[in-house]
Amino acid sequence: MANWNNELVAERNELVFENRNKDYGAYQIRKGYGRVVLMSGGIALTAVLFGLFAYFLATR
């Protein structure tokens, strides 16, 4: 196992949910966590860049 503290490692989720119902919501949330964080970061970065662009256009 690479690192137990890394929530993005699929192997960790497999160990936690071994012999458990993987159709339950917690497994699905953990499984898609990395994708959600990446998408949220991209949206936040886009919003900040758009705000800066609008500010510079307005003060021009």
User: Is 35 inside any structural domain?
Assistant: yes
> So what's the pLDDT on residue 44?
98
Placement of tokens 């458990």 in the chain: 20
The answer to whether 30 touches 21, Cβ cutoff 8 Å, is no
Could you tell me if residue 24 is inside a domain?
yes
Query: Is there a contact between 13 and 30 (Cβ–Cβ < 8 Å)?
Result: yes
* Residue 27, pLDDT score: 85
pLDDT per residue as tens digits for the range 10-56: 788 888 888 888 888 888 888 888 899 999 999 999 999 999 999 99
4 domain residue, yes or no = no
How many domains is the chain built from? 1
Distance between CA atoms of residues 37 and 33, nearest Å: 6
* Tokens (6 digits) for 25: 């919501």
Q: Is 36 contained in some domain?
A: yes
